[in-house]
Amino acid sequence: MTEIKPHAAHWGSFDAVVKDGRLVGVRPFARDPFPGSLIEAMPDIVHAACRVDRPYVRKGWLEGRRRGHLRGGDAFVPVSWDRAVRLVAEETRRVRAEHGPASIFGGSYGWSSAGRFHHARSQLQRFLGLGGGYTGQINAYSYAAAQALLPHVLGTNEVLLGRVTDWAAIIRHAKVMLCLGGLPLRNGLVCSGGAGEHANEIHLRRAAEAGLRFVQVSPNRADVPDWCGAEWIPIRPGTDTALLLAMAHVIVTEGREDRAFLASHCVGWDRLRAYVLGQGDGTPKSPEWAAPITTIPAARIRALALELAAVPAMLTATWSLQRADFGEQPYWMLAALAAILGLIGKPGQGVAYGYGSVNGMGNPRQEVPSFSMPATRNPTGAFIPVARITDMLENPGGAYHFNGRECRYPDTRIIWWAGGNPFHHHQDLNRLLRAWANAETIIAQEQHWNALARHADIVLPATTTLERNDIASSGRDRFLRAMHKAIEPVGQARNDHDMLADIAEELGFRDRFTEQRNEEAWLRHLFEQWRRHCAERGFETPDFDSFWEAGFWEAPPPARGQEYTQFSEFRADPEANPLDTATGKVELFSETVASFGYDDAPGHPVWIEPREWLGARQAERFPLHLLSFQPATRLHGQLDPGRVAATDKIAGREPITLNPEDAAARGLKPGDIVRVFNERGACLGGLRTDPGLMRGVAMMATGAWFDPLEPGVPGSLCVHGNPNVLTPDVGTSRLGQGPSAQSCLVEVEKWTEALPPVRAHLPPRIEEAPA
């Protein structure tokens, strides 16, 4: 018998087709105009050979090889759920008593699932918070540098997270859109909390039809779809700040700055202006200065600056620009340029970040409340900046700076992860592997034997969303979607909520954790809360049963002609509607940031040479700039064992793209297997070439599961193609402490030895329990 169940994921909404208890197919949500192909991988993922079928404990951990032991190479031993729950509870109790709650690292960064009740990280943090506390992580890998910076400059992170100036306003009023990093459609395939409607392509097509001119500044022409007719200006990665400073130089020297706006709405223009003109350091930031840095001809920089001064313009940048050395600077300078041109708050103009980074950015929609699990308090209040995990593990008690604060790292004894994968997302995995050894116990709630599970001590098998009921919701999407349970849990997998409830019981707080609700009671409870919030804002919503039966609820579309421009009220009256910055104005110079005394993030935007870029001395040895971008064929590491990712690989290895001339200079041709390497590590990749990729740049998507030739040995070749064995692990600056994966130099050579098998999608070595 075939059953059809409405369901949703970060990568789209669909009907699950179930036969004889197995997921056999998917059908895209009928209301989604551009569903994309990622959902097609679902049956492979749910029934993958590498599902964790029952609880396991690392054999070495049971035998006492804990702190100081390199993880990744040991066999695992199956245990019963009862035993696993007891081991975890005992360990949690012991470590809290001996070392205090902050020695449990429960930051658990990661995307988890689209379902908002079973959201694994929220469940784990609720459990750890109610149980006495933990050390968390602040900000996101996506845009940590920006999250620290933008409140100082614009008083808000809405320019990053939404609500941003919407496409309706841009299309109506702007004539040109400057897109640093382009507007890649592949990144619009996903959205945290799931997409009901993939909207980016709708808006881009409308904009192109309306004649909006796109100027794409990026190393990769494919970052904007052809049919946008964008002008492509190639730029060396990591040098956008120099370009923007030079554009400011042109605008000032031509007297085209908006003096009235700078005087009434901004502070610090005198300081930034002096820097642009080179009055303090003797270096005018002219187009002639920026040309050799960026490789953009000075005349082109001058023309671009004058065009933006002449026609209504919207400025944007992809999030990846700030996941780089001193990544705060291009973001600050882009906001400064928008201010110098007087664009901020003008209808359909200004600056916002990420129109090309995720689905639904700039989606015209009514502000409907999102459906979510309420956050719980962490009684320790302890956290680290999101990407400082290796530093934390290496330096218990060590001091560091972050956004004006002096902080100390905790002494971590337990690492506990649910819904994220540090062996996917973190940089310099060989360094992480060494630091990871400093933990006594590593607990992973996972669905698959991915690199996190393989590097854990206690592995608790989690259900996928298809094995439970939930509700998907995103602040960037018009649809609330029911996720019906489609199949029974695979093997002994359990819901994160249920396994944590059992551990809470051992520790004496089950009822506080569950509030005596089961799954259905929770969903009804959260739904009623959401309905109340909707009612307060005047939205009519169905009751739970009608919603569940229908499978989705659609927020009413915005009225025709309705459009939204961010900062329009501030522009109209900056005294009555000040920004939430220290001065209430746009800060081109920030006294607050300057007072921190950071030379890697001073009081106004500056050009600082990245540690790794094509202009650096190391480029002699490692002459290719590696951009490890978001994959078109999966979400991060999720979906990697599925058919969509598989068809893109070359002999099972992750593709790496070079300019044909760079390939030829190395004697390489498309389809070759290559070794990509630098001082931090090496991986294999399958070669592709593209004349639309700038010379000197290599592109390799993230997400191929880490597969070291010798598991547990730092520096071992990743035979599958995970670029994070190559990327540097250093904070963007003391201000943001964000990840800086995009500042990475490598070299590529032909792989001439026998091709080692990819084992990433098979379970690890499993042994029976020791007597």
Ligand X SMILES: Nc1nc2c(c(=O)[nH]1)N[C@H]1C(S)=C(S)[C@@H](COP(=O)(O)OP(=O)(O)OC[C@H]3O[C@@H](n4cnc5c(=O)[nH]c(N)nc54)[C@H](O)[C@@H]3O)O[C@H]1N2
Contact between 590 and ligand X by CB under 6 A: the answer reads no
Pick one of ligand X, Mo ion, none as the site partner of residue 364 (Cβ within 5 to 8 A by kind).
none
Shortest reach from residue 444's CB to ligand X, in Å: 8
Going from the C-alpha of 609 to that of each of 240, 326, 614, the distances in angstroms are 11, 9, 10
Q: Pick the binder of ligand X from 628, 659, 716, 737 (CB under 6 A).
A: 628
Residue 755: count of CB within 10 angstroms of its CB: 12
Instruction: Choose the stretch contacting ligand X; rule: CB under 6 A; options: 71-79, 87-95, 337-345, 416-424.
Output: 416-424
Of 103 and 112, the one with the shorter C-beta distance to ligand X is 112
Nearer to ligand X, 179 or 579 (CB): 179
Handedness of CA 752, 757, 761, 766 (dihedral sign): negative
Burial 362-388 (b: 16+ CB within 10 A, else e): bbbbeebbebbbeeeebebebbbbbbb
Phi, psi angle pair for 259, to nearest 5°: -65, -35
- Nearest CA among 119, 88, 49 for reference residue 418: 119
* Runs of H (alpha helix) within 389-442: 389-394, 422-425, 429-436
Q: Which of 109, 141, 275, 355 is catalytic?
A: 109
Q: Is 253 helix (H, G, I), strand (E, B) or coil?
A: helix
Among 26, 50, 215, 217, binds ligand X (CB under 6 A): 217
- Least distance in angstroms from the C-beta of 276 to ligand X: 20
732 touches Mo ion by CB under 5 A: no
Tokens 């900062």 appear where? 567
Stretch that binds Mo ion, among 16-24, 141-149, 424-432, 763-771 (CB under 5 A): 141-149
Closer to Mo ion by Cβ: residue 142 or 740: 142
Phi/psi of residue 81, nearest 5 degrees: -60, -40
Segment 543 to 562, residues that bind Mo ion, using CB under 5 A:
none
User: Based on CB atoms, which residue is closest to ligand X, 461 or 574?
Assistant: 461
Closest to 739 in 3D by CA, of 358, 385, 432: 385
Do residues 426 and 137 touch, judged by C-beta distance below 8 A? no
Let me know if 564 is a catalytic residue.
no
Pairing mode of beta strands 586-587, 682-689? unpaired
Segment near ligand X (CB under 6 A); pick from 99-107, 158-166, 216-224, 654-662: 216-224
User: How would you write 65-108 as a 3-class SS string?
Assistant: CCCCCCCCCCCEEECCHHHHHHHHHHHHHHHHHHHCHHHEECCC
Judged by CB under 5 A, which stretch of 7-15, 134-142, 166-174, 715-723 contacts Mo ion?
134-142
3-state helix, strand, coil in the chain (%, to 5): 35, 20, 50
HSE value, Cβ hemisphere, 13 Å, CA-based, for 502? 14
Of 358, 1, 351, which Cα lies nearest the Cα of 200?
Answer: 358
Decide if residue 219 touches ligand X (CB under 6 A).
Answer: yes
Which among Mo ion, ligand X, none contacts residue 186 (Cβ within 5 to 8 A by kind)?
A: ligand X
> C-alpha angle 655/179/743, rounded to 5°?
50
The DSSP 8-state label assigned to residue 159 in this structure reads: H
* 522 annotated active-site: no
Name the residue among 424, 369, 15, 50 with its Cα closest to residue 193. Answer: 369
Burial 21-51 (b: 16+ CB within 10 A, else e): eebebbebbeebebbbebbbbbbbbbebebb
Q: Which is nearer to ligand X, 258 or 612 (CB)?
A: 612
Catalytic residue among 11, 56, 61, 111: 111
Q: Which stretch binds ligand X (CB under 6 A): 388-396, 413-421, 654-662, 760-768?
A: 413-421
Among 171, 266, 418, 725, binds ligand X (CB under 6 A): 418
Position 420 contacts ligand X (CB under 6 A): yes
DSSP 316: E
CA–CA dist 622, 701 (Å, integer): 19
Between 382 and 694, name the residue whose CB sits nearer to ligand X: 694
Q: Provide the minimum distance between the beta carbon of 142 and Mo ion in the complex, in angstroms, as a whole number.
A: 3
CA–CA distance, 241 with 740 (Å, rounded to integer): 15
Give 519 or 554: the residue with its C-beta nearer to ligand X: 519
CB-wise, 269 or 513, nearer to ligand X? 513
Residue 182 C-beta: closest distance to ligand X, Å: 6
Tell me whether residue 267 or residue 499 sits nearer to ligand X (CB atom).
Answer: 499
Q: Which stretch binds ligand X (CB under 6 A): 294-302, 336-344, 420-428, 556-564?
A: 420-428
Q: Site for ligand X (CB under 6 A): which residue of 413, 448, 484, 653?
A: 448
Strand order in the sheet with 56-58: 76-78, 56-58, 458-461, 441-446, 414-418, 104-105, 135-138, 382-385
Is position 318 an interface residue for ligand X (rule: CB under 6 A)? yes
Taking CB under 6 A as the binding criterion, the range among 69-77, 342-350, 353-361, 394-402 that sits at the site for ligand X is 353-361
Minimum distance, C-beta of residue 94 to Mo ion, in the bound complex (Å): 35
For residue 719, the number of C-alpha atoms closer than 13 Å in the C-beta half-sphere is 16
Q: What is the SS3 assignment for 233? A: strand
Interacting partner of 748 out of ligand X, Mo ion, none (Cβ under 5 to 8 A depending on kind): none
3-state SS track over 183-231: CCHHHHHCCCCCCCCCCHHHHHHHHHHCCCEEEEECCEHHHCCHHHCCE
419 binds, among Mo ion, ligand X, none (CB under 5 to 8 A by kind): ligand X
Q: Which of 108, 142, 412, 678 binds Mo ion (CB under 5 A)?
A: 142
Interaction residues for ligand X, span 631-660 (CB under 6 A): 631-632, 635-638
**CB-side exposure of 588: number of CA atoms within 13 Å?**
26
Q: State yes or no: residue 323 binds ligand X (CB under 6 A).
A: yes
Q: Which of residues 157-196 bind ligand X (CB under 6 A)?
A: 180-182, 184, 186-187, 189-190
Q: Which entry of Mo ion, ligand X, none binds 702, CB below 5 to 8 A by partner kind?
A: ligand X
By CB under 6 A, the residues from 221 to 250 that bind ligand X are: 223, 235, 237-238, 240
Instruction: Give 416 or 544: the residue with its C-beta nearer to ligand X.
Output: 416
- How many residues make contact with ligand X (CB under 6 A)? 63
Where does residue 230 fall: left (phi above 0), alpha (psi -120 to 50 degrees), or beta otherwise?
beta
- Taking CB under 6 A as the binding criterion, the range among 18-26, 302-310, 350-358, 558-566 that sits at the site for ligand X is 350-358
Rounded to a whole number of angstroms, the minimum distance from the CB of residue 535 to ligand X is 30
Q: Which is nearer to ligand X, 371 or 596 (CB)?
A: 371
Distance in angstroms (rounded) separating the CA atoms of residues 717 and 755:
12
Q: In the bound complex, what is the minimum distance in angstroms from residue 397's beta carbon to ligand X?
A: 27
Pick one of Mo ion, ligand X, none as the site partner of residue 113 (Cβ within 5 to 8 A by kind): ligand X
Q: Are 767 and 76 contacting, i.e. CB atoms less than 8 angstroms apart?
A: yes
438: DSSP letter:
T
> For residue 668, which phi and psi values (nearest 5 degrees)?
-110, 150
Q: Which residues, numbered 449-468, are part of the site for ligand X (CB under 6 A)?
A: 450, 462
Specify the residue, 627 or 668, whose C-beta has the smaller distance to ligand X. 627
- In the list 421, 438, 469, 657, the residue contacting ligand X (rule: CB under 6 A) is 421
630 lines the binding site for ligand X (CB under 6 A): yes
Q: Contact region for ligand X (CB under 6 A) — 403-411, 444-452, 572-580, 681-689?
A: 444-452
Q: Give yes or no for a contact between 413 and 91, defined as CB atoms under 8 angstroms apart.
A: no
The verdict on 424 binding ligand X (CB under 6 A) reads yes
Residues in the interface with Mo ion (CB under 5 A) total: 1
- Residues within the interface to Mo ion (CB under 5 A): 142
Give catalytic residue positions: 109, 111
- Residues within the interface to ligand X (CB under 6 A): 110-113, 118, 120, 141-142, 180-182, 184, 186-187, 189-190, 217-220, 223, 235, 237-238, 240, 318-321, 323-324, 356-358, 418-421, 424-425, 445-448, 450, 462, 496, 627-632, 635-638, 702, 723-724, 727, 741-742
